[in-house]
Amino acid sequence: MVIRANDTNLILGPCPFRSIPSSVEEIEKLRERAGLQRAVASGFRSLLYYDTLSGLEEDMVHYASLRTWLYFYATLDPCFPQMERGVRRAAVDERIAAVRLLPGLHHYELDAPEVDDLMAAAQAERVPVNLMARIFDDRVAPQYLQQTVPKPEHVAAFLMRHRKVKIALSMFYFTELRALELDWHALPHVYVDFGCSKPNVASLDALEKVFPTARALFGTGAPFYYWAGSRLGLDGAEMSVDTKRAIMADNARDFFAWD
């Protein structure tokens, strides 16, 4: 089975903790090896900068030659003064696929009024939002970096409160997703990226019973994480080829409103 994938979670660029293969040439080679049609990335310049938009600008300049297939998240801190400008930028710049929230690293609560203001702006501009639980696998996270995953009840309330915005969850473990105790079928605006949720064959075999696969996405976290590792579980899962193609490619086109 050869499926040209739409990877919804590349993590790239200069990382202060270890070297990762993120040159333009290396990202182009990643595209070839992983068989990517398109991908949406966050760069460490954006994720770890206080001024996240300045980091995004640097990434988009650095990877400009890949603009035909590489898109970016605009990672925004709702408590930072440029929030509305960032949402507007995401709405008008074709290289920005969505807004990304990372409360676990930027240290704000999902029930903060500033978050509601950002979501209202996203709704008005018809911009999808990605809620990222973490960057670093908890087992290897730098000990001096405080990374606090949002509480399940706060995530569930956030999803229920913002029903008019397309929202994707990423970098949540399967155990954390189960802890939300949501009726996913009653939340048609919510998508979940299962690629970095520690998927294995057994958990993915059970996926169709608990989550609408038409809203399942698959991001690998490459090149920070090894892209083929996440794919192993999906390749071995007892799903039809059509279902696997939807998860790896088609559903991302719907979420990001790609042609």
d(CA 76, CA 82): 8
Can you give the pLDDT at residue 205? 79
Q: Where are the beta strands (DSSP E) in 51-111?
A: 70-75, 96-101
Q: Phi first, then psi: what are they for 154, rounded to 5°?
A: -75, -40
Mean pLDDT, residues 52-68? 95
Reference 235, options 191, 210, 201, 209; nearest CA is 201
The separation between the first and the last C-alpha atoms of the chain, rounded to the nearest angstrom, is: 24
Residue with tokens 């990434």: 59
User: How do residues 85-114 score in pLDDT, each as one tens digit?
Assistant: 999 999 999 999 999 999 999 999 999 999
Per-residue confidence band for 136, with pLDDT thresholds at 50, 70 and 90: confident
Q: Where are the domains of the chain?
A: 5-256
Q: What is the rounded average pLDDT of the residues 204-220? A: 89
Is omega for the bond preceding 223 within 30 degrees of 0, making it cis? yes
pLDDT of residue 42: 97
Mean pLDDT of 190-208: 82
Tell me the per-residue pLDDT of 18-40, one tens digit each, with 9 for 90 and over. Answer: 899 999 999 999 999 999 999 99
Indicate the average pLDDT of the chain. Answer: 92
Enter the DSSP assignment of 63: T
| Residue 166 neighbours by CB under 8 Å, 6+ apart | 128, 129, 189, 191, 255
| pLDDT average, residue stretch 201-228 | 88
Q: Could you give the strand order of the β-sheet that contains 96-101, starting from the edge strand earlier in sequence?
A: 5-12, 36-43, 70-75, 96-101, 129-132, 167-170, 190-193, 216-217
pTM here is 0.95
* Non-local CB neighbours of 74 within 8 Å, separated by 6+ positions: 46, 52, 53, 56, 86, 87, 89, 90, 96, 98, 99, 100
Burial of 238 (0-12, 13-18, 19+ CB in 10 A): exposed
Q: What is the pLDDT of residue 235?
A: 82
Topology (CATH) of 5-256: TIM Barrel (3.20.20)
49, two tokens: 């900068």
pLDDT at 2: 67
pLDDT confidence tier of residue 223, bands split at 50, 70 and 90: very high
Banded model confidence at residue 1, pLDDT cuts 50, 70, 90: low
How far from the centroid of its chain's Cα atoms is residue 16's Cα? 21
Rounded mean pLDDT of 236-247? Answer: 90
Predicted confidence (pLDDT) at residue 249 exceeds the cutoff of 70: yes
Q: What is the DSSP string of 134-177?
A: -SS-TTTS-TTS---PPPHHHHHHHHHH-TTS-EEEES--HHHH
3-class secondary-structure state, position 230: helix
